[in-house]
Chain A
Amino acid sequence: MTDMHIDHSVLRDLQEVMEEGYLQLLETFLEDSEQRLSQLHGARTANELGMAAHSFKGSSGNMGAVGLARLCQQLEERIKERPPYGIEELIHRIDQEYLEVQRFYRSERERVSAN
Chain B
Amino acid sequence: MPAERMLTVLVAEDSATDRLLLAQIVRRQGHEVFTAENGEQAVALFAEKRPQLVLLDALMPVMDGFEAARQIKALAGEALVPIIFLTSLNEEGALVRCLEAGGDDFMAKPYSAVILGAKIRAMDRLRRLQATVLEQRDEITRHHHHLLNEQRVAKAVFDKVAHSGCITAPNIRYLQSPYALFNGDLLLAAFTPSGDMHVLLGDFTGHGLPAAVGAMPLAEVFYGMTAKGYGLAQMLREMNAKLKRILPVDMFCCALLLNLNMQRGTVEVWNGGMPDGYLLSTSGQVLSPLASRHLPLGVLGAERFDDSTEVLPLAAGERLLLLSDGVVDTADEQERLFGVERLQDVLTANRDPAQLFGEVMQALERFGGRPRDDISLCDIRMFAPEERVPAPTLYSDSGRSSALDWSLGYELRGESLKRFNPVPYLVQLLQEIHGLRSLTGALHSVLSELYSNALEHGVLGLDSWIKRDVQGFAHYYQERARRLGELVDGFVRIDLKVEPLAAGGRLTIEVRDSGAGFDVHKVLSRPPEDQGLSGRGLSLVQRLGSSAQWCEGGRCAQVQFEW
Binding site for B on A (CB under 8 A): 10, 13-14, 17-19, 21, 24-25, 28-29, 31-33, 51, 54-55, 57-59, 61-63
Contact = CB atoms under 8 A, between A and B. Distances in A.
B21 A33 contact: no
A67 to B, nearest CB: 14
A58 B18 contact: yes
Nearest to A24: B20
A59 B24 contact: no
A17 B21 contact: yes
A17 B109 contact: no
Contact of A25 (B17, B111, B113): B17
A17 B28 contact: yes
Contact of B17 (A17, A19, A63): A63
A10 B21 CA distance: 12
Contacts of B17: 25, 28-29, 32-33, 59, 62-63
Interface string B423-434: 000000000000
The 6 closest A-B pairs by CB, nearest first: A61-B110, A59-B17, A29-B17, A32-B16, A62-B110, A58-B109
B88 interface: yes
Given A17-B28, A54-B59, A59 B15 contact: yes
26 contacts: A10-B110, A14-B21, A17-B21, A17-B28, A17-B113, A19-B24, A21-B24, A25-B17, A25-B21, A25-B24, A28-B16, A28-B20, A29-B17, A32-B15, A32-B16, A51-B59, A57-B88, A58-B15, A58-B110, A59-B17, A61-B88, A61-B109, A61-B110, A62-B21, A62-B109, A62-B110
Contacts of A59: 15, 17-18
Given A13-B113, A55-B15, A58-B88, A25 B20 contact: yes
Contacts, number: 53
B25 interface: yes
Given A29-B17, A62-B17, A18 B113 contact: no
Contacts of B449: none
Give the interface centre of A10, A14, A28 by most chain B CB atoms within 10 Å. A28
Contacts of B110: 10, 58, 61-62
Contacts of B28: 17, 19
B456 interface: no
Contacts of B14: 55
Interface string B70-111: 000000000000000000100000000000000000000111
Interface residues of B, number: 16
Contacts of B20: 21, 24-25, 28
A36 B15 CA distance: 9
A97 to B, nearest CB: 17
A66 B324 CA distance: 81
Nearest to A61: B110
A13 B28 CA distance: 13
A40 to B, nearest CB: 14
Contacts of A58: 15, 18, 88, 109-110
Given A19-B24, A62-B21, A62-B111, 10 more contacts: A10-B110, A13-B113, A17-B25, A24-B20, A25-B17, A28-B20, A31-B16, A32-B16, A55-B14, A62-B110
A64 B59 CA distance: 21
Interface in B7-46: 14-18, 20-21, 24-25, 28
Contacts of A18: 21, 24
Nearest to A35: B16
A20 B88 CA distance: 28
A58 B14 CA distance: 11
B65 to A, nearest CB: 13
Contacts of A32: 15-17
B39 to A, nearest CB: 15
Contacts of A17: 21, 24-25, 28, 113
Nearest to A59: B17
Contacts of A51: 59
A51 B18 CA distance: 16
A13 B109 CA distance: 15
A55 B109 CA distance: 10
Contacts of A33: 17
Nearest to B13: A58
A62 B18 contact: yes
Nearest to A69: B110
Contacts of B113: 13, 17
A55 B64 CA distance: 14
A17 B24 CA distance: 7
A10 B110 CA distance: 10
A57 B109 CA distance: 9
Contacts of B109: 58, 61-62
Contacts of A31: 16
A51 B64 CA distance: 13
